[in-house]
Structure 1
Amino acid sequence: MRRRTLLLAASALALPTLARAQAPLTVFAAASLQDALRALEPAWRAAAPGNPPLRFSFAASSALARQIEQGAPADLFLSADEPWMDYVAQRGLILPETRTSSLGNALVLVAPADSPQPPLALGRGTDLAALLGPQGRLATGDPAHVPVGLYAKAALEWMGQWATLAPRIARADSVRAALLLVERGEAPLGIVYLTDAKLSQGVKLLGTFPAESHPPVTYPFALTKRAEGNAPARALLAFLSGPASIETWRRFGFAVAQP
Structure 2
Amino acid sequence: MTVNRRSWIKIAVVSAAAAFLSLAGLAGPAAAQEKVTVFAAASMKNALDNANKAWGKPVVVSYAASSALAKQIETGAPADIFISADLDWMKYVADKKLVKEGTQSNWLGNRIVLVAAKDNAAPVDIKPGLDLAGLLKGGKLAMGAPDSVPAGKYGKAALEKLGAWASVEKSVAGAESVRAALALVSRGEAPYGIVYATDAAADPGVAVVGTFPADTHPPIIYPIAILSESRSPDTAAYLEYLKSSQAAPFFEKEGFTVLK
Q: TM-score, normalised by structure 2?
A: 0.87
Q: Provide the rounded CA distance (Å) in 1 between the counterparts of 2:202 and 2:149.
A: 20
The partner residue of 1:94 within 90, 99, 113 is: 99
Partner of 2:253: 251
The partner residue of 2:181 within 156, 178, 182 is: 178
**Structure 1 residues 18 and 143, CA gap change in structure 2 (3 angstroms):** closer
Q: Provide the rounded CA distance (Å) in 1 between the counterparts of 2:72 and 2:53.
A: 27
Partner of 1:130: 134
Cα contact 1:22–1:53 (8 A) shared by 2: no
Q: Provide the rounded CA distance (Å) in 2 between the counterparts of 1:137 and 1:60.
A: 21
TM-superposed deviation, 1:25: 1.3
Deviations 1:198-226 (A, max 9, x none): 11111111010000000111100000011
SS of residue in 2 equivalent to 1:56: strand
Cα contact 2:129–2:164 (8 A) shared by 1: no
Q: Provide the rounded CA distance (Å) in 2 between the counterparts of 1:212 and 1:144.
A: 20
SS of residue in 2 equivalent to 1:94: coil
The partner residue of 1:165 within 160, 164, 168 is: 168
The 5 Å alignment of 1:73-84 reads: 73-84=78-89
Deviations 1:112-167 (A, max 9, x none): 1111x42133111221111111x211000001101100001100110112222111
The partner residue of 2:242 within 233, 240, 243 is: 240
Q: Provide the rounded CA distance (Å) in 2 between the counterparts of 1:93 and 1:18.
A: 22
Letter in 2 for 1:210: P
Root-mean-square deviation (CA), in Å? 2.1
TM-superposed deviation, 1:18: 10
SS of residue in 2 equivalent to 1:98: coil
- Asked if 1:200 corresponds to 2:211, the answer is no
Deviations 1:69-115 (A, max 9, x none): 00000110000000000000000011131001121100000001111
Flag structure 1 segments of 5+ consecutive residues without an equivalent.
Answer: 1-7, 46-51
Partner of 1:111: 116
Q: Provide the rounded CA distance (Å) in 2 between the counterparts of 1:226 and 1:22.
A: 12
Greater CA radius of gyration, 1 or 2?
2
Letter in 2 for 1:77: F
Say how many residue pairs are matched. 239
Q: Provide the rounded CA distance (Å) in 2 between the counterparts of 1:44 and 1:21.
A: 18
SS of residue in 1 equivalent to 2:102: helix
Percent identical: 49
Q: TM-score, normalised by structure 1?
A: 0.87
Deviates more, 1:159-168 or 1:206-215: 159-168
Cα contact 2:33–2:233 (8 A) shared by 1: no
Letter in 1 for 2:255: G
Letter in 2 for 1:29: A
